[in-house]
Structure 1
Amino acid sequence: MKAVPPNTRFAFRSCGAAAPTARGHRERSSATALAIGFVVTVVVQFGIGQAVRSAPEAFSDPLYHDKRERLRAHSAGAPAGAGRPFALLFLGSSRTYDAVNAGAAAAALTHDLGRPVAAFDFATSGAGPVTLALHLRRLLADGVAPDAVVIEVHPAFLASQVWPPFETCWLRPIRLRPGETSLARDLGFPTDAPGAHGPRGLFLAGYEYRTHLLERYCPELSPLPYRLTSGPETDRHGFVRVPNLLPRQRERLRAWTREQYAPCWTGYIPGGCALAALRDALGTCRAIGVRTALLVTPESAEFRGWYAEPGRARIVPLLNELAREFEAPFVDAREWLPDDLIADGHHLTGTGADVFTERLVRDALAPWLRAQEGANHER
């Protein structure tokens, strides 16, 4: 056999000895990286979990949380007692937060009633009747004590022929507090307890709240079609002023609105869980002696025509019947404004909000509250 040159044997020995050493080094590096990744993941999840537990609704329902914090800084959110102004709260969707200038309403009512009035627009995007019923109960549980509440009714959210209800686009299970799931189901609203209410909310908070974290801190990456964070910045009374728009801008917005609410128009039948939720909100207020009124904000002629008959003709009789049941006034303001003061068919421009708020106070709120004051004095 031919002898292997010494330098070749050295090369073979070197290669054979080096291979296991390199492989072992790579394995140790991979194990270290995995361990570090695991520890970092646990620390991040634990940190997010701690943050969530310290302010749960800042992550689970930022729409409610952000508005409540603003209300707490407002005199309408102060505890009831001597020296606090008469507290008037508006509950509703985005139709209310850009229609009711609560600061102007409070000033006008203070002058008209001859006593201090504090008004706050506690409206949030996509808030249908079920959301309003839950938010009302939360506010009361959180120590808010209004003297009177105006509850907006968005007729599109009354569309009982849509299943699941249109409101599910916004009111997702993770937004509910523990214990609210059963109440929502009692109202006929389909929802399940989110995983965040169990151990996953404790150990996998970053995963459970991933969408809301993106919404709050990196909204351009959010996969949701409708925002769940605070949305437009409001004034200190909760009002959002929409700029006046050109005709072509209003036309584009109306086309988008019609598409957005398309499921609600065909075969329109008002009722369902939305009606049950309105009844729950009115009953909650009546049980604690809070005055209530129902309000439908202005809609353009085109928007009103999108509701299919015969359901469209049933809206006013249905709400009048509900108002009589709870002895609450019903304000049907759908035809109060010309179309050029309505941005997209149902959201008001800033000028529209000024005109609407003035008339709302003059024709509805002031007479209602004066009558209530007179009834209280007679007692």
Structure 2
Amino acid sequence: MAVTVPTSWLPHRTRTGAGAISQRSRPAHGRKARGAALAVALGFTVALAAQIVTGWVAHTNCVPLSDPQYSNKLTLLRAHPGFAGGNDGQTTLLFLGSSRTFDAIDAGAIGSALSRDLGTPVEAFNFAHAGAGPVTTAVYLRRLLKAGVKPNAAVIEVHPAFLAEQTSPPPEARWLHPVRLRPDELALVSQLGLPIPAPSAHGPRGWIAPWHEYRVQLLDRYAPVFSALQFRLAEHATDRHGFVRVPELSEAQRSRLRELTRKQYSDCWADYRPGGSGVKGVRDALETCRAAGIHAALLITPESTEFRSWFPEPGRSQIVPLVSELASEFRAPFFDAREWLADEFLGDGHHLSGAGADVFTARLGRESLGPWLRACVTGGAP
């Protein structure tokens, strides 16, 4: 008589059927689970390490991510050794300001003209940046001195729209993104009346999540096709002296740009009153120059008739007396060039075309900078 033995009585290795398959598959499933967990852990570790390395790169400025406009132009400036000392008798002249100066002053041409006029070498560089109002200029001037860049003379642009005291926040706040500032600059900016909050990039998130904190800068530098910025941060078509030549525009293009400019600064026109953080920024830059022994001058670049008319009275008539008072206090010359050029040289009302820059550069050097620098060189100016 045949005896049926329950499979549970059989040794483990002799079991057959579904039970045996299940027993053999458990180690395989376990190995797969452990492998998946290891892959996730490894991926997380690599991603975290990459984030930390990127944070280190950003904080040490090995790759200029926080403020590429400044860093890239500083690299260009360093190609002119006269600004870093040991200038072999050169007079070094630095221009600071916004895009109005950026595309208005051909520093290479003006340096050559002044060298001929003064009979001594003059090295000039245009260190202006798009959107850089008086507070940004004050910050950049301090940075340059810390970096060892000390010019003999500096021309500081005064942008009347950035002097609008009645706006809140000040107009410059829309341009100066918090991540562009260094931690030790936040107190200065606050003292100058610009309410810039401390960016999270200055804290732990700047180390563990820099791809998010610097996403705008990373896309602009490495994947500009995905960037939503109208103008690139990491790339400007400057010449070796920092000047940008703007192409000539048709009347239709100029008309469209003027309308955009009017809307862009619309909050500045209403009840315009010069003062506030803009004046504090100009004052700080003048104080920095005086403390460093740098000859300083103030400049308002050309504006069209229409652009000037957008500033309502009585604020419009207060601009020159206010800037003149600052200049007098610091014994600095003030060059008011708002009415120097015909309207056709100004594409949007306050930015010069290439032809306009040529005319303005020649006149500025001949009538203003030449006499001023001659007095500085001979000891006739402070």
Could you tell me how far apart the structure 1 residues matched to 2:315 and 2:276 are? 13
Question: Which residues in structure 2 correspond to 1:14-163 (within 5 Å)?
Answer: 31-55=37-61, 58-80=64-86, 83-163=88-168
1:86 Cα deviation after fit: 0.5
Partner residue in 2 for 1:164: 169
1:34 Cα deviation after fit: 2.8
1:18 Cα deviation after fit: 10
Extract structure 1 runs of 4+ deviating beyond 6 A.
Answer: 10-26
2:165 counterpart SS class: coil
Q: Letter of the 2:97 partner, please give it.
A: G
1:13 Cα deviation after fit: 6.5
Out of 356, 368, 372, the position equivalent to 2:360 is 356
Q: Please tell me whether residue 280 in structure 1 is matched to residue 273 in structure 2.
A: no
Partner residue in 2 for 1:315: 319
1:192 counterpart SS class: coil
TM score, norm. by length of structure 1: 0.89
1:41 Cα deviation after fit: 1.2
Cα deviation per residue 1:173-229 (whole Å; 9 max; x = unaligned)? Answer: 2111121111111111112222222333233332322221112222343345665x1
* Conserved 8 A contact 1:151-1:295: yes
Partner residue in 1 for 2:211: 206
Gaps of 5+ in 1: 1-9
1:29 Cα deviation after fit: 6.3
Partner residue in 2 for 1:333: 337
* Conserved 8 A contact 1:154-1:296: yes
* Conserved 8 A contact 2:345-2:356: yes
* Conserved 8 A contact 2:220-2:234: no
* Conserved 8 A contact 1:97-1:238: yes
Q: Please tell me whether residue 189 in structure 1 is matched to residue 194 in structure 2.
A: yes
Partner residue in 2 for 1:3: none
Partner residue in 1 for 2:294: 290
1:89 Cα deviation after fit: 0.3
Q: Letter of the 1:234 partner, please give it.
A: T
Q: Letter of the 1:185 partner, please give it.
A: S
Report the CA distance shift for 1:76/1:347 in structure 2 as closer, same or farther (over 3 A). farther
Could you tell me how far apart the structure 2 residues matched to 1:19 and 1:159 are? 76
Which range is displaced more, 193-202 or 341-350?
Answer: 193-202
Could you tell me how far apart the structure 1 residues matched to 2:32 and 2:248 are? 64
Could you tell me how far apart the structure 1 residues matched to 2:43 and 2:248 are? 52
Partner residue in 1 for 2:270: 266
Gaps of 5+ in 2: 1-15
Could you tell me how far apart the structure 2 residues matched to 1:296 and 1:22 are? 77
Cα deviation per residue 1:278-313 (whole Å; 9 max; x = unaligned)? Answer: 001001111122111000111111111112222111
1:314 Cα deviation after fit: 1.0
1:265 Cα deviation after fit: 1.4
Q: Letter of the 1:133 partner, please give it.
A: A
1:254 Cα deviation after fit: 1.2
Q: Please tell me whether residue 305 in structure 1 is matched to residue 309 in structure 2.
A: yes
Could you tell me how far apart the structure 1 residues matched to 2:103 and 2:334 are? 20
1:165 Cα deviation after fit: 1.4
2:139 counterpart SS class: helix
Cα deviation per residue 1:97-141 (whole Å; 9 max; x = unaligned)? Answer: 110000110011001111000000001110000000000000011
Could you tell me how far apart the structure 1 residues matched to 2:184 and 2:227 are? 27
Q: Letter of the 1:197 partner, please give it.
A: H
Q: Letter of the 1:91 partner, please give it.
A: L
Question: Which residues in structure 2 correspond to 1:217-256 (within 5 Å)?
Answer: 217-224=222-229, 227=232, 229-256=233-260
Structure number with greater Rg is 2
Report the CA distance shift for 1:195/1:374 in structure 2 as closer, same or farther (over 3 A). same
Partner residue in 1 for 2:13: none
2:65 counterpart SS class: helix
CA RMSD of aligned residues (A): 2.4
Could you tell me how far apart the structure 1 residues matched to 2:216 and 2:239 are? 27
Q: Letter of the 1:38 partner, please give it.
A: F
1:59 counterpart SS class: coil
1:179 counterpart SS class: helix
Report the CA distance shift for 1:123/1:183 in structure 2 as closer, same or farther (over 3 A). same
Could you tell me how far apart the structure 2 residues matched to 1:84 and 1:31 are? 67
1:246 Cα deviation after fit: 1.1
Cα deviation per residue 1:327-356 (whole Å; 9 max; x = unaligned)? Answer: 111111111111111111111111000000
Report the CA distance shift for 1:54/1:375 in structure 2 as closer, same or farther (over 3 A). closer
Report the CA distance shift for 1:13/1:92 in structure 2 as closer, same or farther (over 3 A). same
The count of residues paired between Structure 1 and Structure 2 equals 367
Cα deviation per residue 1:151-174 (whole Å; 9 max; x = unaligned)? Answer: 011111111111111111221221
Percentage of matched positions with identical amino acids: 54
Cα deviation per residue 1:244-271 (whole Å; 9 max; x = unaligned)? Answer: 1111111111112222222211111111
Report the CA distance shift for 1:231/1:265 in structure 2 as closer, same or farther (over 3 A). farther
Report the CA distance shift for 1:376/1:368 in structure 2 as closer, same or farther (over 3 A). closer
